[in-house]
Amino acid sequence: MTRLTRLCGFDDVKPQNAMGQIEEGRLTDGKGTIVLVHGAWFGGWVWRDVARLLRAEGFDVTTPTMSGLGERRHQLTSEIDLSTHTDDIVNHIEMEDLRDVTLVGWSYGGMVANGVLTRVKDRIRTLVYFDAFDPKDGESLADLVNAQPVRDMALAGQPVPPPDLAQRWNVTDETLLALCADRVGPHPAKTMTEPVKGFRERPQGVNYAYVWCGANPASSFAKFYERASKDPQFAFVERLPHDHVVALTDPQVSADVIAKAARL
């Protein structure tokens, strides 16, 4: 497995057109599918423009929404946990009979992706951590960020309220903020306190990629990017000069880098 990319800093980042615009003639020809897994507080809708760009280039793309979020927010209960969300994505892949899948987990979606991989490894060709958590067996999201308030909310049966996108992730575009205002909602707390189970080692026979949105060097995902950079199992590691919600703020760059990883 050859490492395709090793970007160590912004000095190495090329302008958008040199970052891997999708090449003509290199399509999946219906043989592979990209499954885009959203993060906490969001839903499959967050990938709308990214999915449109990938489909325009010939990729099959699905954007499932997990229980209690997005268009399924009416299903929100205090009992939804990480296992529930893992079931959501596993069932989606199995019910749609998806194979040769490029599974993309964004943010909290990385927690779900590792759980999915333990159950349907034979259907996954490439796993892309898109500015995402990459937990080891027995680790919860609350463990990884040392979030005691989240544990307290889970014990109290309360959901985790969404963050202020402008303050936390520098979203300043008024149109995007208006779009998110009606769509970003409370997240079931138990999903953040239940640990990943069964992910004792990274399975062989799967391609691994890590994309870090490194505009904020102190982001929660810097350590996963650094770890992936040193891990020979990762064939593709890239740092983007963007903040965490790049799927919304720059869908073209998001689509380009996902397409590159999908072609591993």
When pLDDT is cut at 50, 70 and 90, the band that residue 99 belongs to is very high
pLDDT value at 11 more than 60: no
Q: 5-6 and 101-107: which strand pairing?
A: unpaired
> Cα dist. 44→41, 67, 76, 94 in Å?
11, 11, 15, 18
pLDDT above 70: percentage of residues in the chain: 88
The pLDDT mean for the chain works out to: 89
- Look up residue 57 and give its two tokens: 């280039």
Q: Cα–Cα distance between 36 and 109 in angstroms, integer?
A: 9
Q: What distance lies between CA 95 and its chain's CA centroid? A: 21
Cα atoms found within 13 Å of the Cα of residue 72, Cβ hemisphere only: 19
- Look up residue 168 and give its two tokens: 């936390």
Per-residue confidence (pLDDT) for residue 158, from 0 to 100: 97
Per-residue confidence (pLDDT) for residue 14, from 0 to 100: 34
Question: Model's pTM, two decimal places?
Answer: 0.88
pLDDT value at 9 more than 90: no
**Closest alpha carbon to 101 in 58, 62, 157:** 62
pLDDT value at 5 more than 70: no
Q: To the nearest 10°, the Cα dihedral for 157, 152, 147, 85?
A: -20
Region 18-46: mean pLDDT is 68
Q: Is 107 a catalytic residue?
A: yes
- Of the listed ranges 10-14, 78-82, 142-146, 171-175, the one predicted with least confidence: 10-14
- Look up residue 243 and give its two tokens: 């903040």
3-state secondary structure (DSSP) of residue 250: coil
Per-residue confidence (pLDDT) for residue 4, from 0 to 100: 45
Region 68-95: mean pLDDT is 98
Region 211-237: mean pLDDT is 96
pLDDT value at 114 more than 80: yes
Q: Which of 78, 83, 107, 220 is catalytic?
A: 107
Delineate the domains of the chain, giving CATH numbers in brackets.
5-259 (3.40.50.1820)
Element (H, E) at 143: helix 141-145
- Dihedrals φ, ψ of 30, to 5°? 75, 5
Tens of pLDDT, residues 126-179: 999 999 999 999 999 999 998 899 999 999 999 999 999 999 998 999 999 999
Q: What distance lies between CA 116 and its chain's CA centroid? A: 13
Per-residue confidence (pLDDT) for residue 75, from 0 to 100: 97
Task: Classify each residue of 219-233 as buried b or exposed e, where b means 16 or more C-beta atoms within 10 Å of its C-beta.
Answer: bebeebbeebbeeee
When pLDDT is cut at 50, 70 and 90, the band that residue 32 belongs to is confident
Angle at CA 157, nearest 5°, toward 156 and 160?
95
Per-residue confidence (pLDDT) for residue 218, from 0 to 100: 86
